[in-house]
Structure 1
């Protein structure tokens, strides 16, 4: 096996998704993932603490991009306008590989209770990052929490629709922003 090849993280994620699709999450070992990715087991553990972490690779970066976008929103922006800027910023980091792997990752998560729990933690982390960024802008706690949760829902709904759409359609930002508009409208009907 070649050592120190570039792109090991992405190769490990793709290999894991392929194996999870072929044989299921529980039946897949770290050794199999490393072999399929063309790296050693020790290289795997330099990138990930365990195989669960493969499907949430980039979570910290995504949370940071969402928070950075919120922080950079124009002065006077409402909480949801700031979340929109965060969604746009995070969407810029999502490329063709993310789009291609999206439905396969969602299927792997749906088939495993362990991965569903990890995915829920990812959502909590994203919401916390947005809530903290909104609080730093001076929004009241309840407003910051609600806007952060709506941002997570919009990102997830947008990502799902984007990854399942015709490849010639608009980018992720358009899908996420449309989802945020839908959710905002839905809150108006709550009474």
Structure 2
């Protein structure tokens, strides 16, 4: 009898990524993903509603961003608060051990229109979540929206640098550098 192995969602994501790279997203089935992970189809659907979602961390990134906004010092301005959220993301999610997986995942997403569209929707949801968290801290709605959008742009810039396999810098410093550059660009008249 096989011994139970932990982290079914992680195993499913790894199996899906391997199969998407080998066979293409369109040519991979949920059954193949579950089998490669050593799990059943019903276990797959316990964690993910469909194969599009297997490469998207269900709420984890949102939770870390909200935690970072909530834990920012009370006197922090909106962009400093977003900076704290990006630091939290770098310490808790975009860690060195996830860089290779994230790079491979992005290559698969870039190769598939359906997955790129799904990623765009997820990023919109993240921006909305950051806006709502900033508003709960007392930031006026328009200011919260702008800060969240600039934070999302900074995150995207930093993420693209971080997944570059020739780059060894941690996500947090890259995100802070991107946020500084975005602030500077925003100050142009």
Report the count of equivalent residues.
188
1:139 corresponds to: 139
1:27 corresponds to: 27
TM-score (norm 1): 0.91
1:179 corresponds to: 178
Q: Distance in 2 between matches of 1:66 and 1:156?
A: 14
CA offsets 1:120-145 (integer angstroms, 9 cap, x no match): 11101110111011111111111100
1:71 corresponds to: 70
CA offsets 1:104-155 (integer angstroms, 9 cap, x no match): 2112112222111110111011101110111111111111001111112212
Structure 1 residues 109-124: aligned runs within 5 Å: 109-124=109-124
Q: 1:154 to 1:68 in 2, by over 3 A?
A: same
Unaligned runs of 5+ in 1: none
Q: Does 1:92 align with 2:91?
A: yes
CA offsets 1:25-50 (integer angstroms, 9 cap, x no match): 11111111111111111111111111
1:11 corresponds to: 11
Secondary structure in structure 2 of the residue aligned to 1:81: helix
TM-score (norm 2): 0.92
Secondary structure in structure 1 of the residue aligned to 2:163: helix
2:79 corresponds to: 80
Q: Does 1:163 align with 2:163?
A: yes
Q: Distance in 2 between matches of 1:34 and 1:23?
A: 15
The CA deviation at 1:53 is 0.6
Structure 1 residues 44-63: aligned runs within 5 Å: 44-58=44-58, 60-63=59-62
Q: Distance in 2 between matches of 1:28 and 1:79?
A: 43
Q: 1:155 to 1:124 in 2, by over 3 A?
A: same
Secondary structure in structure 2 of the residue aligned to 1:143: helix
